[in-house]
Structure 1
């Protein structure tokens, strides 16, 4: 697991994304300043989208929330894990 320090808090920069259709899991590097709204599963090729209320696929299906949400920042979209 890779982390980055921001204002004293450790931010995880990688997350294991698990496909909700087939269960395939892959570790991906997360963008530090944006949210990933779509991601194609490498195994079944379904287009993964966030659950209602989440800002990105990492907040819905990742082992770690996206960096903006980890840092308690808003990324432009609502997120169930945010403030």
Structure 2
């Protein structure tokens, strides 16, 4: 199974999108939108901002099929 490291985050506040490289060794709990500067946090039940706002789930979810950091 190939792990995808690129994910496009969409800010729910302003709609700005940016492709980011996800960390492979930790979950990212906070992400600041470079457009409106809102700090994003994971939605309830998600482990990180990529699982909540990204086009691709984080590497731990991809590897473990649902279990995160």
Once residues 74 and 31 of structure 1 are traced to their aligned partners in structure 2, the CA distance between those partners, rounded to angstroms, is: 13
Gaps of 5+ in 1: 1-8, 76-83
> Structure 1 or 2: larger strand share?
1
> Aligned match of 2:42 in 40, 50, 63?
50
Q: Which has the larger radius of gyration?
A: 1
What's the TM-score, normalizing by structure 2? 0.93
What's the TM-score, normalizing by structure 1? 0.78
Aligned structure 1 segments of 4 or more residues deviating by more than 6 angstroms: none
> Structure 1 or 2: larger helix share?
2
Instruction: Deviation per CA, 1:11-35: give whole Å up to 9, x if none.
Output: 1011000001000000000001111
Q: How many residues align?
A: 67
CA RMSD of the aligned region, Å?
0.8
